[in-house]
Amino acid sequence: MSTVISPRSIVRAPSISCFLPVDNRLLIATIGGEIIIYSTTDDDSNSTFVNDPLDSPVTLTSLNNSHPTSPILSAVSPSNNPGDPSLQNWLDSTGHQLTAVTKFQISSKPITEMKYLKDLNYLILKYDNCLHLYNFSTFKLVKTLVNSKGLTSYAVFSQMYESELGEIYNHQRTKESNNNPPKDKDIQSKLHKLDSYSLYQNFYDHDPFEESSMSTASFTTTAYAPDDMIHSYLAYSVKRRLYIISWDINDSNSFKEVSIALPDKVRNFEFLNSTKILVGLTSDFDIVDIPTGTLIHLPLPAISINASYSSSFLSSFSGGPRHNLSLVKLIHNSTLLVAHDRTSIKLHNATLEPLNKSYLTFTSTPISIHYLFPYIVLVTTTAIEIRDPKNGYLLQSISIGHSQSPISIIVDPIQNFLYLQSGSTLMQCQPKSFISQLNSLEASHRLDEAANLAFQLPETFLPDKTSRLRQLQIKKAARLFSSTVAMRSPSDKKLSEAMELFSSFLAPPELVLSLFPRFVTGHTEYSRRTEFDGFVDTSLSNITFDDLMLADDNNILGREVSNSDIVTVQGSRPSTPTPFAPSTPKQGMTRSSSVMNITGDSKSIYSVGTATTSTPNRMHHHHHHRHHFNKEQVRIKQNRKKLMKAIHALVGYLADTRRKIGKMLQYAGELNNDSGSSKPLLYWKTQPLPLDIFGADLNKVATLVDDTLFCCYLMISPLLIGPLFRVNNWCSVEIVEERLMCHRKSIIEDNNSFDGSFDDSGLIAGREDESIIRGKFYTELIDFYHGKKLHGKALELLKRLGNDEEITIESLNPDDETDDETDDEMRSRSSDTSTPESIPSLLLTPATVHLSNSVEALEALRSPLSTIHYLLKLNQDYLRLIFQYIMWPMSVMPDKAMLVFLADSEENESLNRESVVDFLMTGLDFDDESMRLKYVIDYLEHVIGDFNDSNPKLHTKYVELLLELSSEENRDLSTSAYYDKLVAFVSTTNNYEPRTCLRLLQTRVSQGIDADVSRFIYLQTFIYRRLGDHLQVLQLLVWSLHDHARASEYCSELFKQDGERVGKHWLYELLKMYLKSDGKAALDTETDDDMVYGVLRSNLQHALELLETHRYATRLQLSQILGLFPGEVPISMIASMFAKHTTMQSSTLAKSRTMQALAKVELIKHQHNLLSMRSKSVVVDSTTRCGWCGKGLGGSVIGIVPNFHKSVSSGMVIHYGCIVDFETHCKKQVTGGGGGGVTGMKVIKFGDR
C-alpha cells in the first residue's frame, strides 16, 4: 500500500453543516445559517495542482513527525496497524489552522449545501429546502428559486470551467496529438481503424499511448467551440421534474428555464456536458437531452462478471429500496465512471458506449465516489479508498471508525486537493508528488499501478514520461516473464505476452537476452545487462547447457558414438577445448565432444527410455542410479521444456526487433549520406526516437539479435534459417559457420517415414556417417554466404561437396595467404573464449524437424548444377571467382556450365566480354578444340545477338572463329551451317574490322587448306563492298568467281542503294571490264592466242548479255558504250542492242511530244481564264447602294459578290463592313440548301475603283 494523499486538519469548527472550496478561499457554512470564509493563501504549502513540485514530496508539516516518504501514516499512531491507517488518527492530529477572514449571516436556517457558479460569480445555497442565488462578492441575495421548494438535489455546469479543467488535464495530450508525426489525415484514420480492430486489442492493452491518442480524439469532439455562446447551467430536481436554468454568461440577466418531466422520481443527477444530464431514477439511468427534452435510456449492457455477482447486480439495478448512484467524470481520459452499489462501469465521455474492460467491482458499496486525478476516491461505511479507475487497484485505504460522524468530501479539481469533513474537523488532503508516488510504487514493485500512473500523468508532471513508462513496462514484462518461467508449466500465452511487451516498448535486446541462457545467443562476450538482478528470477538465464543434459545419456551414448568410427567435428579440431569440460563436475561429461553431445541430445529426447530398456547391460550398469536419475531427469526435462517454450516466445520479439533495428540502421545510413539535410526524425510514441535506444552500437545489437534468432531457429524451427539468411541479415559468419557445421539434427531425420517412435534402430553405424553430413545445413550456409557476398566461400564449399570432400569448419576457412591474419585471430578467439557452447539440438522436436536436408537435397547440392546456379547470380565484380569455379562444372557438364555465360540475365550482361572470350579461349581445357570454338561462338552470338554488343573485336573474333569452323577438311552439316552464318554475318553487319577479316580471308585462301577457295573469295566481296571498293568486288566476281549474274546484280544493287549516277558508273565500269580487258586478267599466264580470243569472245558475250538483260542498261549513253567495243565486233552482234536503244529513244521522244501537246492545251486554258477575269467589272457611282444594307457606298471599302454565287445576283456590291453579315446569311442558306460557301469575295479598296 502506498500513500497517495496525506491529510492535515485545517479548520476545527463545532457546527459545520457544509463547506465549499472556491479558488483560494474556503467557505464553511454552519448550522446557524452563517458562512465563514477562510483564506487558504496564507498557507505555507499552497502549491496548486499545476505547480506541483516535481521531486520533493509535499512536506506534511501538520503531521506529527510523520516521515514524508513513509508509506503509511504510522507516525501518527504507531500502535495502529500500518497497513490500515485510521481516519481517527487524522482527525486527532493537529495541523496548521486556517483563520477566518470574514463571515456573513445568511439565514436562520442551516445551510445544507453550497455550489459555486464561477462564470456568473453566483453562490447557490440550499437552505430552507429551497435554492437561493447569492452574489459571491457581496453576499447579497440575487434570487430565490421558488420552484425549487422541496428539491432533492441540484447541480451546476459551466462551460468555461469545464474547458479550463479540460485544459489542465488534457493539455499535454492535446499537444501530443498536435505533434503527432503522421499528420496525414489518411494515416490517422488508418491508425484509428487499426486501433479498433480486435487483433490489436490485446496488443494495445499494453500500450497506453495508443489509448491516449484515441481519447484525445474523442475529447476534442466534446470540447465546445470557442465562438459558441457560452452558457452556465443550474439544474435541480423536484420529485419527478427536472428544472434547468441556463445563463448566457455575457448577460447574467437573460436566462432561460426549462423543466422536463421524468417518468420516475429523480434520485440524483449529474451534468455530462452542456446538453446532457445523466439522471438516476428509482429504477434505472436515463440521459436527458436538454435541448430536446428527450430521454435516452443509458445503454448499460448486462454485466456478467460471474454468476453470483450478476444476480445481485441485476437485482440492485432493478430498483431495490435504497441504492447509491455515483457518477464520476475522469477528466484526464474523457471517461465517465457510473457506479451503482458495488458495481461500476466506464463509459466513453462522448458516445456513452461502455469501454473495453470497463467493469469495476468494489469490495463494499461506496457511499460516494470522487475524482482525484488520476484516481478515484471511494467513501464506504468503513474506509476511504483511493483506487486506480483503470483496474480498480487499491492504492491507499483509510479506515473509518464505526462511531464517526458522516464524512463529506469535496475535491477541488483545479488544485487537485481533497477536502474532507467529519464532525467538527475539516481537512485538506494533498496528493503526494507524482514522482514520489511513482517511485514508491516502483520500489514496492507495483509495476502495473506505476505504469498506469505514469501513463496518466501529463508530461508537465513527468518530463521523461515516455522513457519512464518504457522502463516500467519493460520491467513489468521482465517480471511477467520470469514469474511465468518459474512455474512448473509456463503458459505460452503469458510468455508471448511478456515478449510482446518487450517488443512494443523497444526493450534493448541485451536486456531481454539476459533472461536467457547465454548459449541461446551464440555470443559469449556481449555485455549482459544487470538491471534485473535481484529483481526478477533469472533462473532460466542461469541454466547452462549442462543443466539440460542427462548424464545418463552421455555415458551411454558417448561410448556408443566413440565405438563407431565417426570422424567427429571434435576430431578434426583438436585445438578447441572440449566444451563444458573445465566447469563440469559430472564424470562422463568431460568425454563428450560437441558432436557426441549432440548425438546424446537427440537421443536423449526421443530414445532414452527405449535405449535403456533395450540394452540390458546398460540398464544393469545404471540401475542403481535409476531412482536418482528419474528425479534428475524430470528436472532436466522440465528445464528443457521451459527453455523451449521461452525460446518460442523469444523468436517473436527477435523478429520484431530485427525489423525495427533494420529501419533504424537504414535511417542512420541515410542520415550519414546526406548530412546536414533536414531529415525528419524517427518517431516512437510521438517522441523522437534516439538511435541508441537498443544499444550504443546499433550494428552490434543487430548482430546479437540476428545471431540469437539464428540460434533459436536452429533449436526450434530450422526451416526458418533459410529465409533468415536470404533476407538482409546481420548474422556473424563465425557463429553461423560454427553452429551450422557442428549442428547435427536428430537422427529421426534418417527415417523418412517417421512413425512417432524413436528407437535405437535408426542409429546403425552405416547410416551414422550419412546423418552427420545430412545434418549440416549446407543449403542454408550457401544462402548465407551468398547474402554476405562471401561467394568464394560458398563456391569452395560447393566444390568440396561436389568432390565428396569432408566438410569441417576449418575447411570453410582455409589457410589463405591473404587471410592468414584473420584466420589466426579467429583461432585465437575461439580458443580464448571459454567454450563455444554447443547447440542444444536436444530441443528439437518431431514437429520442428523436417527433411530439408534430405538425401535428394544433398545430392542436388553436390551436383555441379548448384555451382552453376550460384555462378549465374554473380556479376562482373566476381569475374575472377566465376572463372575459378566454373572449371569443375565445365569439366563435368560443359553444356550446362556454359549457361553461366549464355544466360539472359543482368549479371551475365555485366561481365566483361573480352575477358570471357579470353577465358574461354585460353583458360579452359577441352579435348576437342572445335568444342571450345563452338562454345565461344555460342557466347559471341549471345552477346552480339541478345546484348547487341557492338565491340568490333568481338565481331571480328566471331568472324575468325566461324571461318575456322567453316573448314573444308572436315566438312559436315555443321560446317556449312557455320559458313552460312558467316555469309549472313559478313553481309548484314558491319561492326567487324574489315581489314582484319579481309586479311584472314586472304590468308585462308593463300594457305591452300581448302580445295575450293571460291567460298572465301565470295566472302571477300562483302567486305570490299563494305569498304566501298566496288571495283574490287566486280573484279573478284568477274575474274575470280566468274559469277557474271552476281556482278550484274551487284550493279543493280548499287543503282538502288547509291542512286543512278553511281549505278551507271559501275555498270559502265563492268562493261569496260568485259570489253577493255585483254583477257589476261582471267587467264593469268596463258598466252595462247586462241585462248585469248576465246576469252575475248566470251567477254564480249558477257558484255552483250549484260547490255541486253540489265534493267538499267539502257540508261547508259550509247555513244559511251560504243566507244568500248573493239573495232572488229561485227554489227550483227550489237544490232539487237542498237535496236533496243533505238526503241527506247523513240519511245522517249514520243512521250515528250505528247507532253508538249498537253502543255500547250493547258496554256490556252489559262490564257482564257485570265482574259475572262480581266473583263469582269462593276460600275459604282454615287447612286450605287450596298446590296446588303441598302445604304450608300460613300468612300468606304467595298466587296463584290463573286459571280459563281447563285443565291444572289452576282457582282453585287456591298460594304466591306457588311461582308461578315452577308456571309453568315449566305452560309445559313447554304447549309440549308447545300452548295458551296461564299468564298472568293472580292474586296476592292476605295483606290481600286
Partner 1 sequence: MSSRKKTLLKVIVLGDSGVGKTSLMQQFVNGKFSHQYKATIGADFLTKELNIDDKNVTIQLWDTAGQERFQSLGVAFYRGADCCVLVYDVTNAKSFEHLGFWKDEFLIQANIKNPNSFPFVVLGNKIDIDESKRTVANKKAMQWCEEKGNIPYFETSAKEAVNIDQAFDIVARNAFQQELENEAEFNEDYSDAINIQLDGDQGGCAC
Q: Applying CB under 8 A, which residues contact partner 1?
A: 184, 186-187, 190-191, 193-194, 197, 199-200, 203, 500, 503, 605-606, 608-610, 612-613, 619, 626-627, 630, 633-634, 637, 640-641, 644-645, 651-653, 655-656, 658-660, 709, 717, 719-720, 722-724, 726-727, 845-848, 850, 852
CA–CA separation, 176 and 194 (whole Å): 19
CA–CA separation, 50 and 416 (whole Å): 9
* Closest CB 847 distance from partner 1, rounded Å: 5
Give 594 or 848: the residue with its C-beta nearer to partner 1: 848
CA–CA separation, 87 and 63 (whole Å): 13
* Closest CB 633 distance from partner 1, rounded Å: 6
Give 660 or 767: the residue with its C-beta nearer to partner 1: 660
* Closest CB 784 distance from partner 1, rounded Å: 13
How do beta strands 687-688 and 683-684 pair? antiparallel
Q: Which residue has the cell 580458443?
A: 831
Give 719 or 1158: the residue with its C-beta nearer to partner 1: 719
* Closest CB 666 distance from partner 1, rounded Å: 8
* Closest CB 637 distance from partner 1, rounded Å: 5
Give 3 or 602: the residue with its C-beta nearer to partner 1: 602
Give 847 or 1173: the residue with its C-beta nearer to partner 1: 847
Give 43 or 907: the residue with its C-beta nearer to partner 1: 907
* Closest CB 1235 distance from partner 1, rounded Å: 47
SS3 assignment for 762-773? HCCHHHHHHHHH
Torsion of CA 522, 523, 529, 532, to 10 degrees: 20
* Closest CB 504 distance from partner 1, rounded Å: 8
Reference 279, options 301, 259, 300, 264; nearest CA is 264
Is the omega angle on the peptide bond into residue 374 within 30 degrees of 0, that is, cis? Answer: yes
* Closest CB 656 distance from partner 1, rounded Å: 4
Give 184 or 1084: the residue with its C-beta nearer to partner 1: 184
* Closest CB 286 distance from partner 1, rounded Å: 36
Helix or strand or coil: residue 399?
strand
Reference 1012, options 1020, 1021, 1004, 1000; nearest CA is 1004
Give 15 or 630: the residue with its C-beta nearer to partner 1: 630
**How many residues are listed for the chain in this entry?**
1249
CA–CA separation, 957 and 232 (whole Å): 98
The answer to whether 72 and 3 have CB atoms below 8 angstroms apart is yes
Give 52 or 707: the residue with its C-beta nearer to partner 1: 707
Q: How far is CA 205 from CA 11, 456, 483, 654, in A?
A: 44, 14, 20, 21
Strand order across the beta sheet in which 1198-1200 lies: 1213-1215, 1198-1200, 1242-1244
Reference 381, options 336, 434, 324; nearest CA is 324
CA–CA separation, 879 and 478 (whole Å): 51
* Closest CB 657 distance from partner 1, rounded Å: 9
* Closest CB 770 distance from partner 1, rounded Å: 22
* Closest CB 765 distance from partner 1, rounded Å: 25
Reference 547, options 488, 651, 633; nearest CA is 633
Give 21 or 490: the residue with its C-beta nearer to partner 1: 490
Give 199 or 1179: the residue with its C-beta nearer to partner 1: 199
* Closest CB 878 distance from partner 1, rounded Å: 18
The answer to whether 551 and 621 have CB atoms below 8 angstroms apart is no
Give 619 or 807: the residue with its C-beta nearer to partner 1: 619
CA–CA separation, 420 and 389 (whole Å): 20
* Closest CB 620 distance from partner 1, rounded Å: 13
Give 756 or 1195: the residue with its C-beta nearer to partner 1: 756
- CA neighbours within 13 Å on the CB side: how many for 249? 18
* CA-only gyration radius of the chain, Å: 53
CA–CA separation, 291 and 93 (whole Å): 50
CA–CA separation, 180 and 917 (whole Å): 60
List, as one string, the DSSP characters of 240-258: TEEEEEEEETTEEEEEEEE
Please state the separation of Cα 1017 from the chain's center in Å.
67
| Alpha helix positions (H), 1028-1130 | 1030-1035, 1044-1058, 1060-1076, 1080-1083, 1089-1109, 1118-1124
Reference 831, options 567, 579, 572; nearest CA is 579
1068 grid coordinates: 559502265
Give 256 or 726: the residue with its C-beta nearer to partner 1: 726
CA angle 291–293–296, rounded 5-degree value: 110
CA–CA separation, 396 and 1067 (whole Å): 119
* Closest CB 626 distance from partner 1, rounded Å: 6
Give 946 or 1060: the residue with its C-beta nearer to partner 1: 946
CA–CA separation, 1110 and 459 (whole Å): 101
Reference 30, options 154, 122, 125, 139; nearest CA is 125
User: Residue 560 gets which letter from DSSP?
Assistant: H
* Closest CB 664 distance from partner 1, rounded Å: 13
Strand order across the beta sheet in which 368-372 lies: 368-372, 375-379, 383-387, 394-399
* Closest CB 899 distance from partner 1, rounded Å: 14
* Closest CB 728 distance from partner 1, rounded Å: 9
Distance, first Cα to last Cα, the chain? 121
